[in-house]
Amino acid sequence: MQVRADQLPQHLAKGVRPLYTVWGDEPLLAQEAGDAIRTAARAAGCTERQVHTVSGAHFDWSSLLGASQAMSLFADRQLIEIRIPGGKPGKDGSEALQRYCEQLGDEVVTLIQLPKLDRTQQSSGWFSALDAAGVTVRVDPVERKALPQWIAQRLAQQGQRVQGGDEGQRTLAFFADRVEGNLLAAHQEIQKLGLLYPPGELGFEQIEAAVLNVARYDVFKLGEAVLAGQVARALRMLDGLQAEGEAAVLVHWTLAEDIRALKRVRDAVSGGKPLPMALRENRVWGVRERLFERAVPLLTDNGLAALLDAAQVCDGLVKGLRHPDWPLDAWESLRRLVLMLIEQIGSAAPAGGRPRVVSTRLALGA
């Protein structure tokens, strides 16, 4: 049984199930889901708690199976937590987890915590057994476009809100820009606002004065911003990655991989393949699939050739080589490559606004 993270409190209010599996790569939401399950288990009489962390190939699965069958000496029920940080229990662990699911009883509530799982792990026998025997809670990162609403909901939980209309949206967008990619920090900043100001309406100046710039940028999210044509956001993320000490080589590799993938998909479509088939063959899925669907029809053969040449030049620059027509600084050359890619893809139409095209002179002057 699958339950969304935001549905978990309502689910737990109806009673505690013997098995919960929380998985995903958002630490704050995973922590909150685990805390909610622990609180509900304690309220249901689980006053004794055991924690088992699976690290390496030498974990004693037999002791875990025995612990689930042993009666507690001090409590009617017990909570057993199984943490698998690597997400791969191995062959012995796979068999043990499936047996564990077969012997679940009402005396024990089990919480299993896992990181983000790929498709193969999600379709494995052990995970299918966990999903069939208990409740599965998936925790995903809050995407940038959903972050302002998430912030507004969290503020509402402590009796605070921003102004209505465009001014309030500007305030939430400012807040989101400062904490993007770092939900734990966003949570802390929201809590700080609850301590600094009483319940009620918060103005832009209050939030600006209180909220720190604690954004953490993901190099792969940079690629998504570029493919979406989001000029200001892409440049802000590039500056953030540089400030965080990210390797320029990795940033270039990510951008170059997107350019090469665009070329392969474009060639396949020009050869007569349907766009969906070309995307699948080039392993373009999820958010990137929608972005590629938008970008590929806007690209020209000459534009892609220019991007490939630029990516090759930039590759040498980030490795210490020089080029007479490009900036000496690796990050400045990455900035130019980002602007060139956005320009070739075309304009991005902001919500409620007119399309915005990146000037060729801007890219060349970067």
Q: What is the pLDDT of residue 331?
A: 94
- Cβ–Cβ < 8 Å for 338, 259: no
- Cβ–Cβ < 8 Å for 171, 211: no
Alpha-carbon distance of 221 to 254, in angstroms, equals 10
Q: What is the pLDDT of residue 366?
A: 44
The distance of Cα 152 from the centroid of its chain, to the nearest Å, equals 19
- Domain with 180 in it: what CATH number? 1.10.8.60
Please tell me whether residues 360 and 223 are part of one structural domain.
yes
Please tell me whether residues 191 and 278 are part of one structural domain.
no
CA geometry: angle at 137 spanning 69 and 14, to 5°? 75
Phi-psi region of 266 (alpha: psi -120 to 50; beta: other; left: phi over 0): alpha
Please tell me whether residues 225 and 359 are part of one structural domain.
yes
Please tell me whether residues 80 and 184 are part of one structural domain.
no
Please tell me whether residues 224 and 330 are part of one structural domain.
yes
Token code pair at residue 359: 């000037």
- Domain residues for the domain of 225 are 219-365
* Total of domains in the chain: 3
Please tell me whether residues 199 and 325 are part of one structural domain.
no
- Cβ–Cβ < 8 Å for 226, 259: no
Q: What is the pLDDT of residue 75?
A: 53
Burial 4-35, CB ≥16 within 10 A → b, else e: ebeebeebbeeebbbbbbbbbebebbbebbbe
Token code pair at residue 150: 């998430």
Please tell me whether residues 155 and 248 are part of one structural domain.
no
- Domain with 264 in it: what CATH number? 1.20.272.10
Please tell me whether residues 205 and 252 are part of one structural domain.
no
Low-confidence ranges of the chain (pLDDT < 70): 56, 68, 70-75, 213, 215, 347-366
- Cβ–Cβ < 8 Å for 97, 67: no
Tell me which of 210, 227, 244 is where a domain ends: 210
Q: What is the pLDDT of residue 62?
A: 83
Percent of the chain that is helix, strand, coil (3-state, to 5): 60, 10, 30
Q: What is the pLDDT of residue 251?
A: 92
Tell me which of 156, 190, 210 is where a domain ends: 210
Please tell me whether residues 86 and 178 are part of one structural domain.
no
Please tell me whether residues 224 and 358 are part of one structural domain.
yes
3-state SS, residue 79: strand
Please tell me whether residues 122 and 51 are part of one structural domain.
yes
Tell me which of 88, 115, 139 is where a domain ends: 139
pTM over 0.85: no
Please tell me whether residues 176 and 280 are part of one structural domain.
no
